[in-house]
Amino acid sequence: MGLLAGITSPAELRRLTPQQLPELAAEIRDFLVHNVSRTGGHLGPNLGVVELTLAMHRVFESPKDTFVFDTGHQAYVHKLLTGRQDFSGLRKRGGLSGYPSRSESEHDVVENSHASTALSWADGIAKANMVRGLTDRHVVAVIGDGALTGGMAWEALNNIAESEDRRVVIVVNDNGRSYSPTIGGLAHHLDTLRTTRGYEQFLGWGKRTLYRTGAPGRFAFSALHGLKKGLKDVVAPQGMFEDLGIKYIGPVDGHDEAALERALLRAREFQAPVIVHAITEKGRGYTPAEQDVADRFHAVGKIHPETGLPVAPSRFGWTSVFADEIVKIGRRRSDVVAITAAMLHPVGLAPFAQEFPERTFDVGIAEQHAATSAAGMAFAGLHPVVAVYATFLNRAFDQVLMDVALHKAGVTFVLDRAGLTGDDGASHNGMWDMAMLRIVPGLRLAAPRDEVTLRAALRTAVDVDDAPTVIRYPKSALVESIPAVSELDGVDVVARHAARPGAAARRVLVVGVGSMAGCAVATGEALAAHGLEVTVASPTWVLPVPAALVKLAGAHDLVVTIEDGVVDGGVGSMLAQRSSEQGVTTPQVHLGIPLQFLDHASIDQVTEASRLTAADATRDVLAALALL
């Protein structure tokens, strides 16, 4: 059966002998490769934390001791060791989440997968333990080196260091490439820690030298003290952490389970905030991942486990179109610069970076800094294009509002994976952006429906130099172009259907926002089959609501909007508000994502569950017209 099959809780793990652990680690890596290759998921990060997770569960007692992962994509091994070994439905509806999930296990605490938050969670839990008098437990926060590039992590460190009796163990999982190669001053600092011999080794050399020369005791003590003081700043850059008031252990070989246990035992005995710095290798034990330089195995789709090659080619054509167009714009406009937050390859900026390295800035996992830095660049004469996942712009809303929009900065935000993303679950759905950004004064937002409108929207956006612009597009496959059959003051009409002869002339306007244009077209066809007169519109620029769209609404008997953002406060709500202000009383039906956190499932399943299909829209229209 193997050792892994016998591990249903950490208690069984702690009963294993040290000699059995290498065999268990090998079994876990084999399990991950063969199972994640079938479902897709975060493979590289989990292969790198096998020994680290084993050591954590042998030294600490979860759930009494609280484990917090930053981010949760490195928690697969933790799931296996806490009794969750059916990975057949990983990231599928009804199966295991790709992140920690409270509904799955008492061993899971933090469900959201946004980075740089774990230390704040750990600080809060440790404070609560202290207030409640629970002095027999620790909080263990595992944070990747990339997550330490986020400012919130340092806010937390500042607070954790405030108390000497707060039992927080911070495990820095340092692989030099949490997402892609980690950048910035912190990365250089960790590089130094990895490559510099500890000053304790130099101190040992000094002791041996003094003893061999027979130096008197008092002189020896003084010399050693001076040696320690003089060498520490040179060969012990861990002082940055210690100067905060947090004890430091490391660097430790993150694949030496025994060494990790010793380090974690020392950390546990401190009974005060302590950092354990573990050096790990992302993708450890899987040759394709170890040899990969582009970090393709951070998150994978279905792959052939023998080679690591994808079973099917990537479908993220939207990103490829953006990648191609931004390079073309860059060739034409020397003032256009690109910014991203540790997502250079996933958001499609790698080709721009290759051609214009001096005009590309990866700021690490620091979306707030990205937005405000972009405002500064705009002030100084550049036009920044900030490319992030839609869900991660949530973290920078204040900066978009108060640093970019208030100062009328010409900054373009490109939101990849907007709308429903499905299998990554609640924290990754890019469903909040339109409802959130609608209240930003002066901001213009485009939701292109195809390649042609995406390219055109991007060219238009970078020409705006006195306000923020936003372009959003989905994770789903790029659709066939949907050409306009006519245009009304910037609003594209993509289909018209005349009423059936002899039928009552009930006029319906169907508005498809962005990627929902195809659904709107199909809805229009279905309504036309019921004899209705139908106009299908797909405006590229949806915020602020175009005046022409309000005018179109007034020329129909019913309006239905379909959008892949939250329906409460979305584009449909804005259209209703603007229509009311203009005296347009046409009834409206709004379809969008319900205001709730959505469980992980495929995009199609979540779309269907959210009632964002042509069949749903058709039924709602017919019901509103009392035709059902």
**Active-site annotation holds for 228:** no
d(CA 225, CA 242): 18
115 among the known binding-site residues? yes
146 among the known binding-site residues? yes
| Cβ proximity of 433 and 415 under 8 Å | yes
424 among the known binding-site residues? no
- The backbone torsions φ and ψ at residue 338, rounded to the nearest 5 degrees and listed phi first, read -115, 140
Closest CA to 566 of 418, 432, 428, 390: 432
Closest CA to 363 of 355, 353, 373, 354: 373
**Active-site annotation holds for 92:** no
Closest CA to 401 of 468, 327, 334, 343: 468
d(CA 512, CA 561): 6
Q: Using the 8-state DSSP alphabet, how is residue 610 labeled?
A: T
* Cβ-based neighbour number of residue 355 at 10 Å: 12
d(CA 252, CA 249): 8
Closest CA to 526 of 624, 604, 621: 621
Query: In the numeric block, which tokens belong to residue 292?
Result: 């990969």
46 among the known binding-site residues? no
417 — alpha (psi -120 to 50), left (phi > 0) or beta?
A: left
277 among the known binding-site residues? no
Beta bridge partners of 414: 387, 471
| Cβ proximity of 289 and 300 under 8 Å | no
| Cβ proximity of 326 and 349 under 8 Å | yes
341 among the known binding-site residues? no
d(CA 543, CA 574): 9
131 Cα distance to chain centroid? 33
User: Which of 257, 261, 325, 367 is labelled catalytic?
Assistant: 367
- Decide: helix, strand or coil at residue 390: helix
Beta bridge partners of 488: 491
| Cβ proximity of 555 and 508 under 8 Å | no
145 among the known binding-site residues? yes
Query: In the numeric block, which tokens belong to residue 568?
Result: 């409460």
User: Which of 395, 417, 449, 472 is labelled catalytic?
Assistant: 395
Burial pattern 156-183, b for ≥16 Cβ within 10 A else e, equals: bbebbbebeebbbbbbbbbbbbbbbebb
Identify residue 57 by its one-letter amino acid code.
H
Where are the alpha helices (H) located in 431-581, listed in sequence order?
433-437, 451-461, 517-529, 547-554, 571-581
d(CA 611, CA 279): 47
129 among the known binding-site residues? no
Closest CA to 445 of 467, 472, 477, 423: 472
Beta bridge partners of 507: 533
Identify residue 301 by its one-letter amino acid code.
G
User: Which of 29, 84, 91, 282 is labelled catalytic?
Assistant: 282
**Active-site annotation holds for 367:** yes
- Decide: helix, strand or coil at residue 242: helix
286 among the known binding-site residues? yes
590 among the known binding-site residues? no
Binding residues for Mg(2+): 145, 175
Binding residues for thiamine diphosphate: 73, 113-115, 146-147, 175, 286, 367
Catalytic residues: 282, 367, 395
Residues placed in the known binding site: 73, 113-115, 145-147, 175, 286, 367
